[in-house]
Structure 1
Amino acid sequence: MSTPPVPRTRPVGLLDRRWRATTVGMVAIMSLISFVYLAVATAMPTAAVELDGVALYGLAFGGAFAASVLCTVIAGVWNDARGPKWPMWTGITLFSLGLVVAGSAVSMLMLIAGRVVQGFGGGLIGVTMYIVVAQVYPEELRPKVFASFATAWVVPAVVGPSITGLVVDHLDWRWVFLSVPALAIPAALLMRTTVNRAGSTDKPVRPDAARLIRWAAAAAAAAGVLQLAGQQSGATAVLLIIPAIVTLVVVVPRLLPRGTFSGARGLPTVVALRGLTSATFAGTEVFVPLLLTEQRNLSPVIVGIGVSLGACSWALGSWWQGRDRLTWSRVQLIRRGTGSLAAGVALVTLLVIGEVPVAIGFAGWLLCGLGMGLAYPALSALVLDLSDVNTRGHNTAALKLSETLFTTVLLTATASLFAALLPMGGTIGYLVCFSIPLVLAVLALSRASGVTPHRT
């Protein structure tokens, strides 16, 4: 008697009824955070003029940024000790409350205060989302979850600035802030059952928690000053940058895993790669539109399409790495992702040569996005794989801090260098400012094999 064939089971997806509401809610929250991040840059000039606060313009960004850095570390400690329930709801509440305060502001100081509260909430949400992923989704679905997070950032990146511009022009800049909490509430309700079921614990707070938070406060202040310095010039910028960099050099190694800067295998390399790849992409992205506009005389529409290619290829790479039939290991994904990123930055750098076709630069930017799409979710999944239940929050916070601080330092450094080199002609400035991300990308590629504790 022949054995009847075993029916082929359909792969379980993120929209399976067990995870559908949670997935939709989390992706919606991430999309709203992304939208706010991008929309504020469009709406803030109008808000600053109306509130007679142009002199305080930088603080509206630096304050929120510093608050987010501080709460990233607090979120790690809190999640490890008490679970994701209260950090998540506190984060969403602060994020929404901050937006309401900012949107209702009658002075620039009130707007800045709202932005700081919003930054506190964003820092809590960013870490806690990862803890919910670790506790709710099986390991094989985590790459898909992180791919959906990437899409949640890409879509607002493509359509957000246009929507914000229409709102500011035809309604009021305040609605950019006030509309988001109304959308965040139903998204949070979709997650309610799952997050509450993930629950709260009552484990001992790690003994070094107070010291970590003090170091985080120092790093947050330095990072905020660096972002503010990026909007200054001359002696003012130098006076802000030097003490901020010194503070970060002292503080950051105490917040990241030991061995992050010395090449230790496993978690330290994962954390380092997140910083290197994110800084590479952001450092390249900042100068691509400027070069295309100022050196190649392309129209804003063409420049916008070119920049959007990177976002779209990032989403494509994220989708690819989350496929059910993918045979690449996470190490291979990271190797190929960092390789694609390095190749892409090299091609973009060629645009400083006037005879090189613009299409070469666009192809390079596509490769940059594709590389990030392959590597970024893989690094997110790896940090959970390499953490036990007692250290997920702390390690996730380290991952996010690495991304934030590496990127901030690079952007401040390249902005200062570009301004200093501008009198020598634009070409040399672009060459230097693309070469630095290229070096970081090559360094990331050289360290990609070290993401596992043992050689593979």
Structure 2
Amino acid sequence: MKVAQAILEKEEIKQQSSNMKRPFILAAVMLAMFMAAIEATIVSTAMPAIVGELGGFSLYSWVFSSYLLMNAVTVLIYGKLSDLFGRKPVLIFGISVFLAGSAMCGMVSSMEWLIAARFIQGFGAGAVMPIASTIVGDIYTKEERAKIQGYLSSVWGISAIMGPAIGGLLVQFVSWRFVFWVNIPLGLLAIAGLVLYLHENVERKKHEIDYKGALFLFLSISTAMIVLVEGGIRWPWMSSPVLLISSAAILTFVLFIRQEKRAKEPMMPFSIWKEKSIFIANMTSLTTGVMLIGISSFLPAFVQAVMGQTPIVAGFTLTAMSIGWPIASTISGRLLFKIGFRTTSVIGGAALIAGSAVFFTLTPDDGPLWAAFGSFLVGIGMGMTTTAFIVSIQSTVSWEQRGSATAANMFMRTLGNTIGAALLGGILNTRLQSYFREEGIGETIDLDSVNRLLSPEEASKLSADAMHALKEGLTYSLHSVYIMVFVFAVISFALILRLPKEKKEAQEK
């Protein structure tokens, strides 16, 4: 009896000590999440200035695609590694690689080197979001997690709001290079917090990491991206290189699916996809991921180059999306209990269509406020749907599958971002090149001439005719991009309508 009591007292002391450290651990985790979350919007805002200095507009989409590719491929691997070696070393490794990539991004002298540095940055970023979320699940009880998840959601809201503003200020008053260097103090503080306060007792278990699956997935996504970005630009669509690389993409994807079905611990557990609600939620996350990258990547270029606004104003148009997202997430959480996840998702899907319709009809004369309104509507749609999907997925599967199911949904959205960056970038380049050729100015103006339009100093040297041609061409090509965004919004809504009705709703009807 005394021994049991002593053990109990020892465990209580240990728990109290852990509880005292939890706020510091949470702060470190939130800092790491903030660093990763702010990356998307802050870089999007800076891209026109980066292209204006480095050139290489034809490689614009690769700056996003390279980062997202490595993020998508590694996110599932890091989750497995954290089970083997613990959360702390894996997260610290990921942050360290991310910081190394950030430092390199700020020192590059060409667009090619920037893309290479973004590969490294994305390789580290894949560890941050899944491991940070897992740590919170480890150190807080089930009852406490609801409140803590609110804190984590606020990180996304704050970073999304601050990212465009900080990016615009740094670009306009300092240098676009600080957009990357600002990550370094944040990352070092997060590492310090983890080293000092997070202590783990890792139970050593034998796991089989699905390296073959990771390799096949990387090869499949990267080859598909090459075709989407370069098809119609470097090679004709029906040329031998495009057909050969497309065949490689299909083959490696088939091998990936085959490997996942054979692996003992697959990267992507396809068994959970048999649930209709999970399948539709994941496929919708893929399509909304394409939409999201299409707006966040190319809206600043439209506002700055075509509308002639400053980087701060361009950042504001993206900030509007970031304001709508957390507001809608909060509302969605309340609506789920009143009208169900399906109806909540339908409302979100309608907002996505309305927002994308604004971009579909956007003209240079509409001004940045109208662009910001469309961005806000898309934020409302994303906030409503993402919250409903997570609740739906986690309610459908057992506790043992909840982590895998949530990670799979996160992966699908990242995959959508990756595909979208390549697909929409390819459309932009193809349509822009086609416009120059149709107008008979292809010999004097090419894709990289847009670099001059994005640099205030270079733009002032352009003739009136060249300025007009570049703005018209960019408007024409971005309109094609936003038509595709609208198409994906319609597909998302159609998928949402196929979500199964909750039992309560079915009984009432």
Q: TM-score range by the shorter chain?
A: 0.7 to 0.9
More helix by share: 2
Counterpart pick for 1:28 among 27, 31, 42:
31
Kindly tell me: are residues 210 and 96 of structure 1, through their superposed partners in 2, closer, same or farther at Cα, counting changes over 3 Å? same
Aligned to 1:282: 293
Report the equivalent of 2:120.
117
CA contact (8 A) 1:63 1:224 kept: no
Q: Is the 8 A contact 1:284 1:437 kept in 2?
A: no
Pairing of 1:41-440 with structure 2 (within 5 A): 41=44, 61-103=64-106, 114-137=117-140, 138=142, 139-141=145-147, 143-166=149-172, 168-169=174-175, 173-192=176-195, 195-197=198-200, 199-206=201-208, 209-222=210-223, 225=226, 229-230=228-229, 233-236=232-235, 238=237, 239=241, 242-243=246-247, 246=250, 250=254, 254=260, 256-258=268-270, 264-284=275-295, 299=309, 304-321=315-332, 326=334, 328-329=336-337, 332-333=340-341, 335-346=343-354, 348-349=356-357, 352=360, 363-380=373-390, 394-417=404-427, 423=435, 426=476, 429=480, 432-440=483-491
Partners of 1:35 and 1:156 within 8 A in 2: yes
Equivalent position SS for 2:270: coil
CA shift for structure 1 position 302? 6.2
User: Aligned in 2, Cα 1:237/1:128: closer, same or farther, shift over 3 Å?
Assistant: farther
Query: Unpaired segments of 5 or more residues in structure 2?
Result: 1-18, 261-266, 439-474
Distance 1:36 1:168, change over 3 A: farther
AA partner of residue 165 (structure 1) = V
Contact 2:99–2:183 under 8 Å retained in 1: yes
Amino acid corresponding to residue 258 of structure 1 in structure 2: F
Match of residue 460 from structure 2: none
Q: Equivalents in 2 of 1:122, 1:329: separation in Å?
A: 34
Matched to 2:347, the amino acid is G
Query: Does the CA contact (< 8 Å) of 2:424 and 2:481 recur in 1?
Result: no
In structure 1, give the amino acid aligned to 2:187.
Answer: A
Deviation at 1:75, TM superposition (A): 0.9
Q: Secondary structure at the match of 1:278?
A: helix
Report the CA distance between 1:128 and its aligned residue.
1.0
SS of 2:336's partner is coil
Instruction: Find the residue that maps to 1:124 and give its secondary structure.
Output: helix
Moved more, 242-251 or 42-51: 42-51
- Give, in whole Å, the separation in 1 of the partners of 2:302 and 2:61: 24
Aligned with 2:235: secondary structure? Answer: helix
Deviations 1:48-96 (A, max 9, x none): 8988999987765544333323321211221344442222121112212
Structure 1 range deviating more: 76-85 or 54-63: 54-63
Contact 2:39 2:163 in 1 (8 A): no
Q: Partners in 2 of 1:130 and 1:75 — Cα distance?
A: 12
Q: Is the 8 A contact 1:313 1:373 kept in 2?
A: yes
- After superposition, give the CA deviation of every residue in 1:228-275 in whole Å (9 maximum; x if it has no partner): x537752437455845763575367556443788x7335434433322
Displacement of 1:394: 4.3
For each residue in 1:174-224, what CA deviation from the matched residue of structure 2 results, as whole angstroms up to 9, or x when unmatched? Answer: 544334222212233334466434x53322214x62332232332453365
Distance in 2 of aligned mates of 1:315 and 1:421: 35
CA contact (8 A) 2:75 2:127 kept: yes
Q: How many residues align?
A: 428
User: Contact 2:30–2:155 (CA<8 Å) still a contact in 1?
Assistant: yes
Q: What amino acid is the match of 1:158?
A: P
Q: Is the 8 A contact 1:133 1:145 kept in 2?
A: no
Matches of 2:167 and 2:417, distance apart in 1 = 22
Task: Give how far 1:29 is off.
Answer: 1.7
Note the C-alpha offset of 1:313: 0.8
User: Quick one: structure 1 residues 158 and 48, their matched pair in 2 at CA, closer, same or farther if it must change by over 3 Å?
Assistant: closer
Relative distance call for 1:105 and 1:298 in structure 2 (3 A) is closer
Letter of the 1:445 counterpart: I
The answer as to whether partners of 1:98 and 1:117 remain within 8 angstroms in 2 is: yes
Flag the 1:32–1:191 CA change in 2: closer, same or farther, 3 A. Answer: same
Q: Provide the secondary structure at the position in 2 that maps to 1:204.
A: coil
* Overall identity of the aligned pairs, in %: 18
Q: Kindly tell me: are residues 349 and 155 of structure 1, through their superposed partners in 2, closer, same or farther at Cα, counting changes over 3 Å?
A: closer
CA displacement at 1:157 relative to structure 2: 3.1
Specify the SS of the correspondent of 2:131.
helix
- Give the corresponding residue for 1:5: none
3-state SS of paired residue (2:133): helix
The corresponding residue for 1:11 is none
Query: Contact conserved, 1:260 with 1:269, CA < 8 A, in 2?
Result: no
* Whole-angstrom CA distance in 1 between matches of 2:132 and 2:326: 19
- Whole-angstrom CA distance in 2 between matches of 1:352 and 1:411: 18
Q: Tell me the alpha carbon deviations over residues 82-131 of structure 1, each in whole angstroms, 9 at most, x when there is no partner.
A: 44222212111221233234445588776555433322210111221221
The TM-score, its normalising length taken from structure 1, stands at 0.73
Compute the RMSD of aligned alpha carbons.
4.6
Alpha-carbon distance in structure 2 between the residues aligned to 1:260 and 1:436 = 28
Tell me the residue number matched to 1:13. Answer: none
Q: Does the 8 Å CA contact 1:69/1:220 hold for their aligned counterparts?
A: no
The residue type paired with residue 216 of structure 2 is W
Distance 1:211 1:151 in 2: 36
Structure 2 CA distance for aligned equivalents of residues 272 and 50 of structure 1: 38
Partner SS for 1:230: helix
Specify whether residues 312 and 286 from structure 1 end up closer, same or farther in structure 2 by C-alpha distance, changes over 3 A only.
Answer: same
